[in-house]
């Protein structure tokens, strides 16, 4: 009798201990241990690290076999290339045309382009709208009826609050393409930013600066390309030509419950001032505004979103230049092209 009682007590203590361990994993997340216990590699655990809280809870509810199959499926779709860190010294920014220290840029502009803190996101959206992040109704119409990769439902400046637990706007356009598809520089320019954006929805990013002479527009233009497969091999300060490959398509970046499809997130910021800064997380052009990426291809003003939104419907279609697969440009003398070749 004594022995059977002792066995029951030991069994009860074991159950309590097991429950406590399970609860600890549930409360603390225990991402790394969760991955290890599921037989998941370090690459797989990196994917778990980038999941949102909701996605991680759903992942945790799967069986060990389903977790492993889920991660293995994602890894098969991913490139085996490792992300290369940008080792260019920060002081080299000072050698680039127009660079100024971050402190010389207003806090409003930093809020416009940067990641906002909790409690400040309503203000950030207000600033972004004031500085161009509003829907314009513009549509790309490729010259000669060319077959070009098109913007999907993720249009310019749509309300993203339904995707976030806070107010948000989509400050760019998404162009889906198969993983690994080369992305092209939309104009001649200079590499001024490369970011891994770990734990950020943007994923791997490259940003170019274009002078008025390089685009034919009366502004300094900053073109942003995110969700890249790996860090671009181009160094900071590198000069690029129109149509030059600057990265490859993927779906990197923090995800929600659904796996993001492979697509380029393409954005444009512009300013009448040449100064800009790089704080190690984001490019901050002085006195800048958001531009509808479709407006970047307009041959004449207006370019500001408020004026574009007021245009009649018959002026909303933008004749859009592009590069062919053989490298030729349409029209031949264009300084601006679509970020993917067209047939």
**Does 73 share its domain with 98?**
no
HSE toward the beta carbon, residue 275, CA cutoff 13 A: 10
Same domain? For 73 and 106 the reply is: no
Q: What pLDDT score does 72 carry? A: 72
Residue 208's pLDDT is what? 98
Are residues 53 and 117 both part of a single domain?
Answer: no
Q: What sign results for the dihedral spanned by CA atoms 300, 305, 309, 310? A: negative
Q: Identify whether residues 38 and 107 lie together within a single domain.
A: no
Domain assignment of residue 85, yes or no: no
Beta strand residue intervals within the chain, DSSP E: 139-142, 173-176, 182-184, 189-195, 204-210, 220-228, 239-240, 245-248, 263-271, 276-278, 283-285, 289-291, 317-320, 322-323, 329-330
Residues 8 and 124 in one domain: no
Provide the residue range defining the domain that includes 291: 90-330
Coil, helix or strand at residue 282: coil
Residues 287 and 206 in one domain: yes
pLDDT of residue 51: 64
Could you list the pLDDT tens digit for every one of the 343 residues in the chain?
A: 444 544 454 454 444 444 443 433 443 344 444 544 455 665 566 667 666 565 666 677 777 777 777 777 676 655 443 334 443 444 478 889 999 999 999 999 998 886 655 556 678 888 988 999 898 999 999 999 999 999 986 676 666 555 555 556 777 899 999 999 999 999 999 999 999 988 777 889 999 999 999 999 999 999 999 999 999 999 999 999 999 999 999 989 877 677 778 999 999 999 999 999 998 889 999 999 999 999 999 999 999 999 999 999 999 999 999 999 999 999 999 999 999 999 9
Q: What is the pLDDT of residue 28?
A: 38
Query: 265: closest CA among 174, 169, 171?
Result: 174
289 found inside a domain:
yes
CB atoms within 10 A of CB 14: 10
Contact assessment for residue 294 and residue 210, using Cβ atoms and an 8 Å cutoff: no
Extract the tokens encoding 231.
């860090």
Are 98 and 68 members of one domain? no
State the total domains in the chain. 2
* Domain final residue, candidates 77, 112, 131: 77
**Judgement on whether residues 170 and 273 belong to the same structural domain of the protein:** yes
Q: What is the largest CA-CA distance in the chain?
A: 96
Question: Do 171 and 97 belong together in one domain?
Answer: yes
Q: Note the pLDDT of residue 79.
A: 43
């Amino acid at each position: 009798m004594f022995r059977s009682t002792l066995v029951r007590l030991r069994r009860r203590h074991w159950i309590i201990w097991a429950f406590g361990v399970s609860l600890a994993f549930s409360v603390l997340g225990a991402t790394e241990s969760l991955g290890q216990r599921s037989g998941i590699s370090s690459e797989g655990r990196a994917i778990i690290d980038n999941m949102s809280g909701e996605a991680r809870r759903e992942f945790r509810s799967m069986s060990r076999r389903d977790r492993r199959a889920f991660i293995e499926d994602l890894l098969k779709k991913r490139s085996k290339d490792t992300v290369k860190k940008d080792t260019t010294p920060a002081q080299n920014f000072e050698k680039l045309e127009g660079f100024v220290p971050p402190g010389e840029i207003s806090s409003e502009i930093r809020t416009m382009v940067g990641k906002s803190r909790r409690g400040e996101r309503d203000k950030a959206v207000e600033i972004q709208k004031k500085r161009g992040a509003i829907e314009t109704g513009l549509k790309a119409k490729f010259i000669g009826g060319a077959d070009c990769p098109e913007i999907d439902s993720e249009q310019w400046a749509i309300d993203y609050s339904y995707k976030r637990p806070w107010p948000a706007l989509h400050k760019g356009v998404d162009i889906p393409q198969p993983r690994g598809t080369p992305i092209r520089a939309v104009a001649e320019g200079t590499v001024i930013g490369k970011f891994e954006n770990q734990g950020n929805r943007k994923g791997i990013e490259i940003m170019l600066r274009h002078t008025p002479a390089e685009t034919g527009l009366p502004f300094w233009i900053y073109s942003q390309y995110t969700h890249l497969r790996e860090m671009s091999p181009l160094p900071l300060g590198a000069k690029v030509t129109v149509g030059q490959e600057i990265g490859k398509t993927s779906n990197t970046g923090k995800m929600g419950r659904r796996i993001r499809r492979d697509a380029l997130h393409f954005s444009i910021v512009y300013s009448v001032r040449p100064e800009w800064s790089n704080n190690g997380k984001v490019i901050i052009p002085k006195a800048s505004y958001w531009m509808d990426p479709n407006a970047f291809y307009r041959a004449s003003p207006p370019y500001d979103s408020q004026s574009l939104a007021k245009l009649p419907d018959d002026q909303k279609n933008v004749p859009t230049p592009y590069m062919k697969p053989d490298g030729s440009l349409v029209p031949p003398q264009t300084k601006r092209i679509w970020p993917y070749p067209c047939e």
